[in-house]
A = this chain, B = another copy of it.
Amino acid sequence: MNKLSEWKHVFKLDPQKTLSDHDLQLILESGTDAVIIGGTDGVTFENVSDLFDRVQPYDVPCLLEVSDIEVIAPEFDGYLIPMVLNSREKKWMLDIHHQAVKEYGDIMDWDQMVVEGYCVLNEKAKVFKHANCYLPDEEDVLAYARMAEHMFHLPVFYLEYSGTYGDPELVKKITNELQHTTVVYGGGIRSSKQAEEMSACADVIVVGNVLYEDLDAALKTVSVAKKSNF
């Protein structure tokens, strides 16, 4: 399923938040390359499945970002598996994944798994505290990015500023460094101007929270991202 390397723009939908059918239709017919269902809090099998059922009729790839093994519903177009590189605990890097592979390894379809080297860069983000992260400096981030590409051969390196707008210069530096691993940027994009700026710095931008706060602004991020030649 992995055409992720060809994508420019993705919407991230939070299964805990509410979207009317009309708004969901606007999102799914916006021209975005894909939607990701995922969140840190309150994600359940029920709300994931409910949202997926509403997305499925549309012709947009739908991926699940797996934050908890209990929420894995079938039939998604792909499953994003975060390895939190700047967590202080092996748990978020490997052990949860190991338990999942131990339990479901016999029936896993590896072609549907997309392992993300995840680097959380906003100290105030829920996921930062949840996964017991430390704040890496620029050289730390660069080293994680190199490891993601050269040591672990990961398809995705995800710069997660969740809830705040990030540093375009750092994002650009990382994207310039990586040849085979796709750099995904997420966090704080609230306008087409920001979408344009970050699209010039990352391979793919993820737009999330603004969907629930200013849908028009969110929808306008699609066309500018897809025009980017980066």
Contact = CB atoms under 8 A, between A and B. Distances in A.
Interface of A: 81, 83, 85, 87-90, 93-94, 97-99, 101-102, 105, 108, 110, 113, 115, 139-140, 142-144, 146-147, 150-154
A97 B140 contact: no
Nearest to A86: B98
A144 B90 contact: no
A97 B151 contact: yes
23 contacts: A83-B151, A85-B94, A85-B98, A87-B90, A90-B93, A90-B94, A93-B93, A97-B147, A98-B144, A99-B143, A101-B146, A101-B147, A101-B151, A102-B139, A102-B143, A105-B146, A108-B146, A113-B150, A115-B151, A115-B152, A151-B152, A152-B152, A152-B154
A26 to B, nearest CB: 36
B140 A102 contact: yes
Contacts of A115: 151-152
A154 B94 CA distance: 14
Q: How many copies does the complex hold?
A: 2
Contacts of A101: 143, 146-147, 151
Given A97-B151, A108-B146, 6 more contacts: A81-B151, A85-B98, A101-B143, A115-B151, A152-B152, A153-B153
